Amino acid sequence: MIYSYYIIPIHNIANFFKLPSDITQHIFFYIINNSAQLIIDKWYSYISIHNLNLCYIANYIPLLQGHTLFGDTISYYDLHDKKLKITLSICAKYIKPSISDKIWWRNFAQYGFNGLTFTNNNYDITVQHNLFFFNRIFNYFL
């Protein structure tokens, strides 16, 4: 990788021209720092695409509040919402459990399951699709 492409030829040139060790060391550190920065930038881009952007669009789903039969207030997502279905399909497709926060996504799915309390027709196709995607997201983090 870096060693064979840059470091070994620089080491050979430094030995051939008898460069002082501090100059050679400075060149090595410069090359290693640039390579490390490139790796960090690529990793940040990967995290941004596969986690931060998904959380960003998931936070735009309207979170509703309602009361259960026992008077408890719960937060939920409207399972009849077609925009929720589109957002969930994107999240379920691109989510990476290895770099995502398990607790955040499980709470997100729990809000979806709370929506069953306020759903009149559980056999509606949109409700079924939304429940499928919530179940898929929830199962990623078991």
| Predicted local confidence at residue 34, as pLDDT | 81
| Predicted local confidence at residue 7, as pLDDT | 75
- List, in sequence order, the alpha helices (H) in the chain: 2, 8-17, 21-47, 53-58, 82-94, 102-114, 125-140
- Lowest mean pLDDT segment, chosen from 30-39, 61-70, 71-80, 132-141: 30-39
**Consecutive H or E run containing 73:** strand 73-76
pTM (whole model) above 0.75: no
Which residue shows structure tokens 């926060």?
101
Q: Is the pLDDT of residue 51 over 80?
A: no
| Predicted local confidence at residue 76, as pLDDT | 94
